[in-house]
Amino acid sequence: MKLNKKKLLLIIIPAFLLICVLVIVSGYEKWQIGLTCPKCLQKASLHQIRIHGIIIYSSSRVYQNPYESKISPALYEQILGKKCDHVFKKNSFCRKKGQVYSCGINRKILSYEQRINAIEELYRVFLRCKNIDLAKETYLLIDNTLPIANDKKMIKAMELLRLKDNILKVTDFMPRGVFPSGE
């Protein structure tokens, strides 16, 4: 039985298309990445569609956190008198591949947790008293005390601080004499 070219093409083309669709579908992923600017607390999200790790569609959106309606990044401009040049840091992600969802947080954002909390509190106090000079001084103090530094160094420093805090918590509950005094 001999196949002519027409029949061969009728078999090969659908098979090739089926293989292409299976390759695309098996590697199809939707990503949503949450971002926060640790300078002004602006929130943003990044949406991506990837096929086997290659980004084929990407869009971003800047928004205000609906749960913190009074804490607005516009307060940064009111306090410092200039717009923020955003330094967005990843804080969360969700990935959908097939019917499987994976979500989590980015460890690096934890190194900015104290800074973010301090700026949130500064914004809350500023909304009550509207003292621009005091707010500006406080922001500069926060910026100098908790700078946006090299991520690796900041994470290492935060891990050491957590380790120190954990050791202090453990030693507070231990009776005296458990650790040798070195004498």
Domain range annotation of the chain: 27-173
Query: 7: part of which helix (H) or strand (E)?
Result: helix 5-26
pLDDT band at 136 (very low <50, low <70, confident <90, very high): very high
Give the whole-angstrom CA distance, residue 112 versus residue 164.
Answer: 18
Whole-angstrom Cα distance, residue 88 to residue 39?
Answer: 9
Quote the pLDDT of residue 54.
Answer: 82
- Whole-structure pTM value: 0.64
pLDDT digits (tens, 9 = 90+) for 79-121: 999 998 888 888 888 988 877 888 888 777 777 888 888 898 8
Task: Assign 166 a pLDDT band (cuts: 50, 70, 90).
Answer: low
The answer to whether the beta carbons of residues 46 and 35 sit under 8 Å apart is yes
Q: Is the pLDDT of residue 153 over 60?
A: no
Question: Which residue would you say has higher pLDDT here, 171 or 44?
Answer: 44
3-state secondary structure of 159: helix
Residue 31 near residue 101, CB atoms below 8 Å = no
Is residue 182 predicted with pLDDT exceeding 50?
Answer: no
- Choice among 6-10, 79-83, 166-170, 171-175 with the minimum mean pLDDT: 171-175
Summarised one tens digit per residue, pLDDT across range 19-72 is 777 766 677 888 898 888 888 988 898 999 888 778 888 888 888 766 666 678
- pLDDT, residue 57, reads 87
